[in-house]
Structure 1
């Protein structure tokens, strides 16, 4: 038998993404089960009671749908899309049984996260759901996706979602205890790897393929996801989602699994990117806004905007300047034309001026970095 993982402290975190694979939510025959989900849901509930926030990325819709169809149906792409539609409602209903708080279903494709406007819309929606006290449960929109129905889609989706919501850590619950030096199912001498400073090509080369019939992601895709998360300054935690004691340990701040570190902290990675991203324009603000942004860590509201220069679009990086020079940089929630129309207005007047609203912030405080002290 392979050696056990050594307990170690979890990194400090406030917001996390928890990815749960199909193998933890379905039986060998493909029907949906809450056997392992219950312990994971308890971890989520305990974390929320401690003031933390968790977004769940959950596989299992196709497998759950397969349990509702006759064995000969569901073959091919269109069949799998139909199975996803059948299984999605059962998947969300399963998660809702474990929580008193409302569960919110969010279906995404990778295209939603590549398109700048849709990316920001998804981010705004998830932030609002968290502020409402809801538990977002995200899944790939397999009913309409084409090329995304492939190996490891939700592992990588979870990493993208972690960056999307500015998570501190990505938890990946699997049917293995963590990363080993070899495949523990076939090699009795496989050694556990408790801590990885950085995911390398050697790690990827030694990783295996899919681990079960129900799942689509093997260890390689989990390491790929960890690499994506690390680029955003987010650590990844691999653990056994079937091990109740391990999951209870997570709630107590102890990991028995693999910790994959990020070269920089989340904030450092984000600030580095913002400081070095070429600005597409400039927003000049008044003295009150300068004080609010510099000393109070506030978001930029339209009332403090004096002018907007350039032809930037929603989602572009812009400089924020006082009357002399830029002192901050951030991501614009509105285009240059929109900013000019809502400048000096109260937030309640945004929809009156534009006919629509992307929220009260011209630049959200989470999307701001100071250029000078």
Structure 2
């Protein structure tokens, strides 16, 4: 934290509306003071705040069996209350940014989001970001604000991500069930063993458990962002952070972070279709391009500029990439018999995927 210049802090629903009867300042005051103290030290802050549904639920009866439409209405009503609550704590301006995964996975909109965040920070305005639950659909939603906060941290070129939880950090076993559970203060590499330590969600209000927090940490550290999982319910957490101490679990940033465009393609953009290539096709060549001759099958419907998954015939996920051609054209070419016309088309077509638009995936 002492070296941080720009941080993202993620707050969950249980901190915003612990009793689901509107926003409460019980836990938010110490978080707001932390934000103020960071800004006083010259640290830029971006706040990712859940809680709109929880904040607005008290305005609707029978919320336990609420329909999707009612939950969206809760989000609409609760979002204004949540923003008003945050605004009450600060003597500087704040700005609301509501996002869906559809906004983040579209490169043009993603770039626009980056520019908006940078402009707000340049003018001393606190960006407060939440998923747009009022309009999002299953196809467009991120689903949890842990992963959203990691995507935002990457988009904002932050150097630190702080995810507030209801436990101190990652334990080797569930601390709510095992008295001998031990806190893991530092993680350098996220492995399957680390994921196995993640328990189920314990909060009745939030949607993200420890697993989503580790997923978020994995996204963030691959972009060079140190990530803390801390207990947001304890005031001492934020004093320790400001003092340069670790109050929970820190996931250390990769020493060789991904470039911004590659990170976006790997961790934010979702594939719209698949290109199946021959099993012996080598995607690891740094000058690799994907030509039509190497593709054995085209799956799904996608347009020029969409992100697609490249996999081998045996099912191995090789890469995510931006396609230069639509699925319609690629299928058309695949269906053509060898003829002078089809040969001319094949000869004139450029690479389906260019080398600068490929993000290799680690083989599991």
Whether these two folds match at TM > 0.5 is yes
Superposition pairs of residues 243-258 of structure 1, within 5 angstroms: 243-258=234-249
Question: 1:13-60, CA deviations, whole angstroms, 9 ceiling, x for partnerless residues?
Answer: 100110001111112344321111110111111010111101000000
Deviations 1:143-193 (A, max 9, x none): 001117989511000000000000001100111111100110111010010
Distance 2:139 2:17 in 1: 21
Q: Give the whole-Å Cα distance in 2 for the aligned partners of 1:214 and 1:144.
A: 20
Match of 1:205 in 2: 196
Structure 2 unpaired stretches of 5+ = 264-285, 290-303, 306-364
Match of 1:221 in 2: 212
User: Is 1:157 matched up with 2:130?
Assistant: no
| Map of 1:50 onto structure 2 | 41
Contact 1:30 1:63 in 2 (8 A): yes
User: Structure 1 residue aligned with 2:83, among 92, 96, 102?
Assistant: 92
Partner of 1:234: 225
What is the count of residue pairs matched by the alignment? Answer: 269
8 Å Cα contact 1:178/1:193 also seen in 2: yes
> For residue 172 of structure 2, what is the aligned residue in structure 1?
181
**Greater shift after overlay, 144-153 or 131-140?**
144-153
Measured at CA, do residues 11 and 264 of structure 1 come closer, stay the same or move farther in structure 2, by a change above 3 Å?
farther
Which runs of at least 4 in structure 1 moved beyond 3 Å after TM superposition? 148-152, 271-274, 276-279
TM-score by length of 1: 0.68
Distance (Å, rounded) in 2 between the aligned partners of 1:278 and 1:77 = 45
Q: Which residue of 1 aligns with 2:186?
A: 195
Describe the superposition over 1:328-351 as per-residue Cα deviations: whole angstroms up to 9, x where unpaired. xxxxxxxxxxxxxxxxxxxxxxxx
Unaligned runs of 5+ in 1: 1-9, 280-311, 314-373
Q: CA deviation at 1:204?
A: 1.2
Q: What do you get for the CA RMSD once the two structures are aligned?
A: 2.5
Q: 2:121 aligns with which of 86, 109, 130?
A: 130
Tell me which residue corresponds to 1:269: 258
Find the partner of 1:113 among 91, 101, 104. Answer: 104
Relative distance call for 1:243 and 1:148 in structure 2 (3 A) is farther
| TM-score after normalising by structure 2 | 0.69
Match of 1:41 among 32, 38, 55: 32
